[in-house]
Structure 1
Amino acid sequence: MSDRYQAFTASPFGKLLVKNLGLPSPVRLRRWEEGAALVDGTVLVTGDGRLAADVRKQLDALEVAHVAEQAPETRYRAVVVDASGLTESSMLGALRDQVAPVLRSLESCPRVVVLGTPPEQTSGAERVAQRALEGFTRSLGKEIGRGGTVQLVYVADGAEQDLSSTLAFLLSPKSAYVSGQVVRVGAHGAVAQAPETDWRRPLEGKVALVTGASRGIGEQIARVLHRDGATVVGLDVPQAASDLQRLTDELDGDWLALDITAKDAPARIAQHLQREHGGVDVVVHNAGITRDKKLANMKSDRWEQVIAVNLTAPERITRALLDEGVLNEGGSVVGVASIAGIAGNVGQTNYATSKAGVIGLVESLRDDLPAGTRINAVAPGFIITQMTAAVPFATREVGQRLNAMAQGGLPVDVAETVAWFASPGSARVNGNVVRVCGQMMLGA
C-alpha cells in the first residue's frame, strides 16, 4: 500500500510546502532485495576498544568492504564505533569526536552502530560511561535523518566473535525500519558459540513454525524465512485454511489449521512437528487479535479472547515444545509483542497487557534455556497492512508520522527482524526485545 503523503512530499509543490512549513519529509527507505550485496558501500570501523579487531574479521567473512580511518571526500554507507574502551564519563567526548566528523560523509539511508559492554557486567565509573551510550544512540537516531538508523550493541565478554549475524542485520537494508534500539549479545543464557552460517541462506535445512501465517505480517514472515532456506510450517485458524494452504504450497512448506487456544493445541502442534519434521528449529508466535474498547466498557469476553490468543497460547505452546523435546538443539523462539505493550494505548488495555506479557515470556525463559537455544521478541509499531488501512485517515496519518522516519513500516521490516533472531548465527542473541517502529516518539 502506498504512502500518499510521502508521494506528495516528493513532488515539486510538496517539497516547497515541506521546506516552508517545516513539515515531516519521509525519505524512501532502502530495503534489501534478494541477490543484492549485503552492504552496498564501505563501512568505517573506528574506536580502540576490545571489539574493533573482531568486527573487522567478521566483516571480512561477510564480504563487506571496510576501512579503519576516515578519508577526505569519501562517503560511507555505515560507521561502526567501538566504545567498549570508555571506562569513565570524562572519556565520552571521544565518542563525539569519532562520530560527529563522519556524519556529513554518510550515504543516504546510512547505518551507525555503537558497540559497548553491558553495564551490568561492569562497575563504578565504567558502568556510568557504558550506560550513557544509550542516551547517545537514541538521540542520534532522532537526529540522523535521510532514512538513517542508529543502534547500540552491548557485547558481553566472550561473545566478541559472535557478532556476524547482528552486524549483517544492522548494517544492511534489512534493518530499514529499526532504529534507536539496544541489543545485547551474550548477556543471557548458557554459553554456546554461534556457528558459522551463510548469510544468504542461514536457515538451510531448518524447520520454522509460523502462527497466524495466512496473511499480513505472518505471511511475510513465512516468505522471508523460506527465502533464508527454512521449511515453513504455517499455522492458522481453520477459517483461513484455504489461504494458508495456498501460501505453503507456493513455499513448498507444510500447514496446520487449528485454534491455538484449544486445550489440546500444544500437544497437537508438538505431535505434528515431531511426526512430520522430526522437530522444529524456529518458532514464531505471530498469531494475534485485537478487541478494542476502553476498559470501563470492555466485556469479559473481549478481555479473555485477546489474552488467550496473544499470550496464553504462545506460553503454553512454547512450554510444550520445550518439555517434550520438540524444539531442536540451538532452536529459536520469537514472540511478536507490540509498541502498545511498552508504551500502552488508549482502548487497548487487553491488547497492551497481552503484548507486555509476551515480553515477560522472554524475560521468564531467557536464562533457563539450553545452550544455544534462545528467545527474543519483536515489538512492531505502525506497520502498514490491510488492518491499518481500515483505520480512519487522520488517526492513520498521526500513527505513521510519530517516529523518527516519519512513515509507517512494512510487514517485511518485521519479517527481516524475525529472520535475524531465527538465524543460527544469532545463537548469542538472547533475551532481547527489539522495536520495529522507525523509533517511535513513544516508549523507550
Structure 2
Amino acid sequence: MADKYTQLVNQGVGKSVARKLGLPQPAILRRYRPGSPLVPGPVVVLGDSPASDKLAAELLSWELDIRRHAVPREKLGAIILVLDNVQRPEDLGRPVLAAAASLRDLAPGARVLTVSRPAATAASPAIAAARQGIDGLLRSLAKELRAGATGNGILLADDVEATSPSALGAVRFFLSGRSAFVDGQFLTVSGQGGTLPPQADTPLAGKVAVVTGAARGIGADIARTLHRDGATLVVVDLPSAGDHLAAVANEVKGTALQLDITRDDAGQRMIDHAVQRHGRLDIVIHNAGITRDKLLANMDPARWDSVININIASQLRINEALLASKHFRSAPRIVSVASTSGIAGNRGQTNYAASKGGVMGMVRATASLMAGNGGSINAVAPGFIETEMTSRIPLALRETARRLNSLKQGGQPVDVAEAIAFLASDAAAGINGEVLRVCGQNLVGA
C-alpha cells in the first residue's frame, strides 16, 4: 500500500510546504536492488582493538572504500564503531565522539553500526556497564539520524570473532538496503559457523524453502524475495486461496501446496511435498497467521482459540515433524513471523499478542534443538507494515501508527521479507534463537 504523504513531502511543492510548516518529512528509504552498491559512500571503521583492524581489512576485500579516519565534509556511506574491548564506561568517550564528528556528513540512507559484546557475559561490573551503555547510546543515536539513515548493533558472543562468517553476514545485511526498515536493533551472533555466499545477490541458490500463508500480502513478498535470492519455493496456503496461491507459485516458478496448517499431519505433508517435488527441504518460513481482535472483556472462545491454534500451536506441531525428519537435518533453517504486539502489547489484541509472544518463546527454546544439526531458528517481529490489512485502519489512526517510529513511516512487506531471507541464509548460521524487529524503531517496546 502506498504512503501518499511520504511521496508528497519528498517532491516539489509538497516538500517546500512541509518544510515551511514544520511537518514530518519521512525520507524515501534506500532499499536493496540487485547489483546496487552495498553502501552509498565510503565506510569509516572506528576503534582501536585488533578486531577493528581485522574487520577493516575484510571490508576492503569487498572492494569498499574503507577509512580509519573521516575526511571532513566528505559524504559517508556508513560509520562502524568497533567497541568489542571496552573495559569501563570511560572507554566509550573517544570513539563515540569521533563518530559524532562525522554524523553530519552521512549520506542519505547511510548506516551507523556498532560491534560489541553482550553485557550479560561481562567479567566485571565495569565491563557490563560499558557494554550496556552501548545499547543505550545506539538506540538513542538511531532516533537522531535523518534522511533515511539507520543505526543498529551486532553483539558478538565472547568466543566469536568480528570476522566470523555470521558476524560478516550481519555487517553486510545491516549496511545494505535489505535492512531499510530495521532501526535501533541489536542482533547477537552466538556461533562461529556459517558461510558467506560466493554470489552476494543469490545467497539462497540451491536451497528449497517452504513459505506458509504465501497466497498474498507479506507471505507472497517473502516467496518473491527468496526466489530472487535463488531459492526453489513451495508456497502453502488454504484451499480457499487456491487461485492466488497458484498465481504466486507460477510467478516464483515454484510449486503450490493447498493445506490447512492446523492439520495434525501438516508438517509431514510439507516435508513429503518438498522432497517428492524438489528432492530436499532446507528452509521453512512460518508466516501464516490471523487476527481476531476484541477487548479481553468481550473475547469469546472462538476468537481466542482460532488465533492461538493458527499462529502458534500449528507452528509447534509442524516443528515437531521437522525436527523428527531425516530430510531436515542438513543445516536447516526456520524463520517465524512474530510481531511487535507480542513485545509491547496492543489494545484489543490479547489473543494475538499471546500468540506472537508464544512464537518468540518457541524460537528461543527451539534454538538448541536446531543447533545439533548445524541449523538455526529465528523470528522477525514486524511493526506497522503497509498491507491490505493496515489499509483498512481508519485514516487518523493509520497516520498516527505510520509516524510512531524513528523513520516516521510504515514499512513495506519486502522489508519483512528481506530480514527473513537473511536469517534463512547460511551467512546467518551463527545467529540462533534471536528476534529481529522490523519496525523502523517503533517508539513502543524495546
**Where do 1:234-245 residues align within 5 Å?**
234-245=235-246
Residue 97 of structure 2: aligned partner:
97
**Where do 1:319-330 residues align within 5 Å?**
319-330=320-331
Residue 179 of structure 1: aligned partner:
183
Cα 1:229/1:328, change in 2 over 3 Å: farther
Q: Which moved further from structure 2: 175-184 or 37-46? A: 37-46
Tell me how far 1:74 sits from its aligned partner: 1.6
Residue 70 of structure 2: aligned partner:
70
The separation in 2 between residues aligned to 1:65 and 1:109, in whole angstroms, is: 17
Which secondary structure does the structure 2 equivalent of 1:39 belong to?
Answer: coil
Residue 413 of structure 2: aligned partner:
411
Which secondary structure does the structure 1 equivalent of 2:143 belong to?
Answer: helix
Which secondary structure does the structure 2 equivalent of 1:6 belong to?
Answer: helix
The separation in 2 between residues aligned to 1:328 and 1:200, in whole angstroms, is: 25
**What is the TM-score of this pair, normalised by structure 1?**
0.95
The separation in 2 between residues aligned to 1:198 and 1:205, in whole angstroms, is: 12
Cα 1:327/1:289, change in 2 over 3 Å: same
Q: 1:159–1:186: 8 Å Cα contact kept in structure 2?
A: no
- 2:106 aligned partner, one-letter code: L
The separation in 1 between residues aligned to 2:160 and 2:135, in whole angstroms, is: 22
**What is the TM-score of this pair, normalised by structure 2?**
0.95
1:102-132 residue CA offsets vs partner (Å, 9 max, x unmatched): 1011101110000001222322111211111
Q: Percent identity?
A: 42
Which secondary structure does the structure 2 equivalent of 1:225 belong to?
Answer: helix
Is 1:383 the counterpart of 2:389? The answer is no
1:246-284 residue CA offsets vs partner (Å, 9 max, x unmatched): 211221111211100012212222222233333311111
The separation in 2 between residues aligned to 1:211 and 1:322, in whole angstroms, is: 18
Tell me how far 1:196 sits from its aligned partner: 4.7
1:335-368 residue CA offsets vs partner (Å, 9 max, x unmatched): 1000101110111111111011110011111233
**Where do 1:34-45 residues align within 5 Å?**
34-45=34-45
Tell me how far 1:95 sits from its aligned partner: 3.5
Q: 1:165–1:423: 8 Å Cα contact kept in structure 2?
A: no
RMSD of aligned Cα (Å): 1.7
Residue 262 of structure 1: aligned partner:
263
Cα 1:57/1:234, change in 2 over 3 Å: farther
Cα 1:197/1:364, change in 2 over 3 Å: farther
Which secondary structure does the structure 1 equivalent of 2:377 belong to?
Answer: strand
Tell me how far 1:15 sits from its aligned partner: 4.0
**Where do 1:78-227 residues align within 5 Å?**
78-124=78-124, 125-156=126-157, 157-160=159-162, 161-162=164-165, 163-186=167-190, 192-194=193-195, 196-227=197-228
1:392 to 391, 394, 417: 394
Which secondary structure does the structure 1 equivalent of 2:45 belong to?
Answer: strand
- 1:38 aligned partner, one-letter code: L
1:423 to 413, 425, 429: 425
Q: 1:192–1:371: 8 Å Cα contact kept in structure 2?
A: no
Cα 1:173/1:20, change in 2 over 3 Å: same
Q: 1:81–1:98: 8 Å Cα contact kept in structure 2?
A: no
Unaligned stretches of 5+ residues in structure 1: none
Tell me how far 1:245 sits from its aligned partner: 1.4
Q: Which moved further from structure 2: 45-54 or 414-423? A: 45-54
The separation in 2 between residues aligned to 1:58 and 1:318, in whole angstroms, is: 37
Length, aligned pairs only: 441
Residue 310 of structure 1: aligned partner:
311
Residue 22 of structure 1: aligned partner:
22
Report runs of 4+ in structure 1 exceeding 6 Å deviation. Answer: none
Q: 1:273–1:326: 8 Å Cα contact kept in structure 2?
A: no
- 2:87 aligned partner, one-letter code: T
The separation in 1 between residues aligned to 2:61 and 2:240, in whole angstroms, is: 46
The separation in 1 between residues aligned to 2:366 and 2:235, in whole angstroms, is: 24
Which secondary structure does the structure 1 equivalent of 2:193 belong to?
Answer: coil
The separation in 1 between residues aligned to 2:185 and 2:63, in whole angstroms, is: 25
The separation in 1 between residues aligned to 2:18 and 2:389, in whole angstroms, is: 29
Is 1:232 the counterpart of 2:233? The answer is yes
The separation in 2 between residues aligned to 1:328 and 1:42, in whole angstroms, is: 41
The separation in 1 between residues aligned to 2:281 and 2:314, in whole angstroms, is: 17
Q: 1:168–1:199: 8 Å Cα contact kept in structure 2?
A: no
Which secondary structure does the structure 2 equivalent of 1:330 belong to?
Answer: coil
Tell me how far 1:12 sits from its aligned partner: 5.4
Q: 2:384–2:410: 8 Å Cα contact kept in structure 1?
A: yes
Which secondary structure does the structure 2 equivalent of 1:84 belong to?
Answer: coil
